[in-house]
Amino acid sequence: MKRVMVTGGTGFIGYHTVQALLAAGLEVSLLVRSEEKLNKVYGEGVIRHFTCGDIADPDSVQRAMQGCDAVIHVAALVSTRAADAERVYRINLEGTRNVLGGAVDAGVGRVVHVSSVTALYDPKAEILTEESPPSPDARGYGRSKVACEKYARALQDQGAPVTIVYPASVLGPDAPELTEPHVGLQTYLGQFVPQMTSGNQYVDARDIARAHLQILREDTGSQRYILGGHYIPWRELGPILRKLTGRRILEVPLNGAAMRFAGGLAERVAPLLKLDLPLTREGLTYATRWVQMDNSRIISRFGFEFMPVEQSLADSINWLYRAGYISARQAGKLAY
């Protein structure tokens, strides 16, 4: 394996994946929407092989794939806003068909599809594993990921060399732009940590990148791997942040059902008042009814070890401070 085509290479997961591939001595070919953004993220001339285009355009996908031994499909339009649902569904499904289907048709030997916990999410499940069925009642962004999931599994059933990975909420430093978990950290450090039912599960983008590299090197055929990282109940997040930052963290009890209602209300009111509200019913459903993800398959298959969640949180907070997203007071003793 010499060259790997990556979609979404200027995004958070994609960026760290590309860095891991380059560090391993592999060439990369990126499909990007903007050469300007590519140079901003990596520096001018660092990425030698790239194609300007879009995952919804099969021709640009094929151009980016030429000469590649493997493909990692990371790119997706991410939004849990109800108003974006149809556009998210169309772009994500078309892109997945173009990238995964195009790679299989071209005879690419290794294909990795980066799915999501939302593709498997079922609030009635006790735990999510690689054998969990696609989400039975997904909406919005989750609905798009379920459609992509079904397509990827259909390729696996046909014997195609497609491996699917399922990251949880992704944290870590050095994001090309803020992600929802980063915005969450800003809230927790600048305002309060909500005390709700359930919790959240965090995986470091650098761990995802290591997993991608290990899968390309050691896996064969088609497989599925949960990349859940570490589960943290909401009641434990405040004490962890307090220990890491050395400062007082405000914790506010909130009712899960009320928060889901507030998310739905915000979605209806925001367009009328022309407001950009961060609350969505879909996002708050995940936050208040999280179902834990089981990492045991990738751990047993590769001896894979996820970095401690405290390290991911500390590195994320330090990066948020250095990048100017939070103040020294909010970062506490991690402001260095």
Q: Which residues contact 156 (CB under 8 A, 6 or more apart)?
A: 162, 164, 222, 224
199-204, strands of its sheet edge to edge: 169-171, 199-204, 230-233
Question: Is 166 among the residues known to form the active site?
Answer: no
**In 3D, which of 170, 228, 227, 231 has the Cα closest to residue 198?**
231
Please give the DSSP secondary-structure letter assigned to residue 293. Answer: B
118 in Cβ contact with 145 (< 8 Å): yes
* Element of type H or E holding 201: strand 199-204
Alpha carbons 247 and 307: distance in angstroms, whole number: 24
User: 224's torsion region: left (phi>0), alpha (psi -120 to 50) or beta?
Assistant: beta
- Dump strand ranges (E) for the chain: 3-7, 27-32, 49-52, 70-73, 110-114, 162-167, 169-171, 193-195, 199-204, 224-227, 230-233, 251-253
107 phi/psi in degrees, rounded to 5: 80, 25
40 in Cβ contact with 46 (< 8 Å): no
Largest CA distance in the chain: 56
Tokens representing residue 1 in the block: 């394996």
Query: Residue 306, Cβ neighbours under 10 Å: how many?
Result: 21
Beta bridge partners of 195: 253
Of 141, 188, 225, 286, which one is the catalytic site residue? 141
Active-site positions read 141
